[in-house]
Amino acid sequence: MRGAPGNEGCDLTRFSARDIDRFRHGSHTRLCDHFGSHICTCDGERGTYFAVWAPAAASVSVIGDFNDWDAGVHPLHRCTGDAGIWEGFVPGVDRGDRYKYHVASTQDAYASERGDPFARYWEGPPGTASVVWNPAYRWEDGAWMRTRARRHDPGAPLAIYEAHLGSWRRVPEEGDRPLSYREIAVPLAEHIVDAGFTHVEFLPVMEHPFYGSWGYQTCGYFAPTSRYGTPEDFMHLIDTLHRHDIGVILDWVPSHFPDNSHALVFFDGTHLYEHPDPRRGFNPEWNSYVFDYGKHEVRQFLINSALFWLEQYHADGLRVDAVASMIYLDYGRDDGRWLPNVHGGRENLEAVAFLRTLNRHIADRCPGALRIAEESSEWPRVTGRLYSGGLSFDLKWNMGWMHDTLRYFTQDPLFRKHAHQHLTFSRVYAFKEQFLLPLSHDEVVYGKRSLLNKMPGDNWQQRANLRILLGYQYTHPGKKLLFMGGEFGQWREWYHEASLDWHLLNTPAHAGIFAWVAALNRLYRCEPALHECDFEPQGFEWIDCADADQSVLVFLRRGKSSPEPLVVVCNFTPVPRSGYRVGVPLPGRWSEVLNSDAVRFGGSGVITGSVRTTEPVACHGRDHSLVLTLPPLSLLVLRRTGAGV
């Protein structure tokens, strides 16, 4: 057992009267400097300072290996100011020591052992203790950080590779264990570079007790999971990705938290972090608890968590999970089992205010960091600015596009003419928000099958369908996201306990799909027409959206810095179409920039010809047209390469 608590003369800043006042009124954005465990020196003795919020507690003690987990050895004391903060210094406690808080309340003789809500590190599951850890890392990503803001300009290309760290690649010779943060750094970076993506997005890396939740049941809002290494190891992973010119986006879950007794729920014997009324504080759909966004202290906890990942870990953005569950009081609840707001409506006014405040703080403190909403409803102005009443996200996942598009592609091509509107409808709302087009992890699990396995037809047709699906995604307005495995056409649906099927890349058919994705990313990044006006109506125009009988779509994309548009022609049936006339905006010579049916991508090799010259024949409301051969199940991208009459 080590020393008695105290913190007089501590070289770490304690809670000042101003800190406590700001904490009580909801304006403190540097809580990480105070709460949690901090190695320091007090009166010449090295140890650790602890601070925790537990206003209903009658007593709080630090317990751990250093005192045989005895609650009577190291009690904390209340800070002045009646903010419910307990603090103290324990000599001799150092990096790597495990600890918890023993929280006791007079209410119902409550006593519990709790992990630290502000812990920087946790022991690996099934252990539930926090670990004293002051991360120290020397960053080498200065070039990336200086240029990040321009890379996130609305007119810049953004192609995201969505990944789950524990199942990207495993080591079969060692019990099929996942790669560590350091082991995965270079292989992942090189794979992303080869595929051409601009960013990677990790499913939540914040500490979570249940691996099968994929991280979406978070208990450690300030700690990367110890399953793959230390905080410094995770910093190394991000640093490596940045030095390969790859941005890093983290999934972050401020919507709900699990019911694990060592974590946040009923923390001090009261509903401290969750709303006390179960009609608001409990999500029956996920069997988890909902944060009380009406509390200053809870809002600050979450805002400080967001800023922590962006500042301390150099994350380039946060994808906020399950926004719809936050802003609607009746989300996942039957009639009579939800509590209306003060006006009798279903909007969670406190959650809306929280999200707007969150995005304001991120914009002010972390310029250039992306704020992305996974929001599935028709809530207006999710990406609208604050002054217009919007939530002020930079991007919104276009869930409608994903569901409609996959619904279309799962149809047998024979019947696609009856589902044509599923493709054309997205144009109606494409520019109401700043959209990101996801083909995400949620669509390839739990019996939904992989993207490739969703496709109809024989094996060749399935691969051709996947290529045209991805081509349609990359040529449609909006930024892009593709879940791992989709880039080479994995047959199996995703399973978090198994590696991706990397052996498939050794086969020409799947190597062809990977080559197609790489070619799409190259074209998307190099062609201003495909990314500069993703959020502006002038960047997209139908040439023909009415040919449902032949399941053909023709449209063009325009940029700002290049006067030449691109024409995109999609044939969604396995029937080649010769002599197909397409109206084009300008006369001259047009060349085939990309053809998903090329042999190198695994296609049949039907080509339109390297160059086609327009004819003065009106078509699709235009004075000039081209006559093309459309390969089966294909997407063509055409560019004008020379003027003509």
> 10 Å Cβ neighbour count for 65?
13
Chain centroid, CA 280 distance in Å: 25
In sequence order, which residues have a C-beta less than 8 Å from that of residue 225 and are 6 or more positions away?
A: 122, 205, 206, 207, 208, 215
| Residue located via tokens 């994705």 | 517
Q: Which of 19, 87, 232, 321 is catalytic?
A: 321
Please say if 162 is a catalytic residue.
Answer: no
Q: How far is residue 408's CA from residue 427's CA, in Å, rounded to a whole number? A: 15
Across the strands, what pairs with 435? Answer: 396
> 10 Å Cβ neighbour count for 526?
12
Q: DSSP secondary-structure letter at 75?
A: B
CA 197 to each of CA 247, 420, 522, 525: distance values in angstroms, whole numbers, following the listed order: 9, 30, 9, 9
Q: Which of 374, 487, 532, 597 is catalytic?
A: 374
Does an H or E element contain 584, and which? Answer: strand 577-584
Q: How far is residue 508's CA from residue 413's CA, in Å, rounded to a whole number? A: 25
Please say if 190 is a catalytic residue.
Answer: no
| Residue located via tokens 């304006």 | 27
Sign of the Cα pseudo-torsion (572, 577, 582, 587, in order): positive
In terms of C-beta density within 10 A (0-12 exposed, 13-18 middle, 19 or more buried), how is residue 99 classed? Answer: buried
Per-position DSSP letters for 380-440, written without gaps between them: TTTTS-GGGT----SEEE-HHHHHHHHHHHTS-GGGGGGGTHHHHTHHHHTTSS-EEEEE-
CA torsion angle 115 121 123 127 (round to 10): 30
Which candidate, 600, 637, 593, 633, places its Cα nearest to that of 467? 633
Chain centroid, CA 82 distance in Å: 38
Does an H or E element contain 569, and which? Answer: strand 566-571
Residues identified as active-site: 321, 374
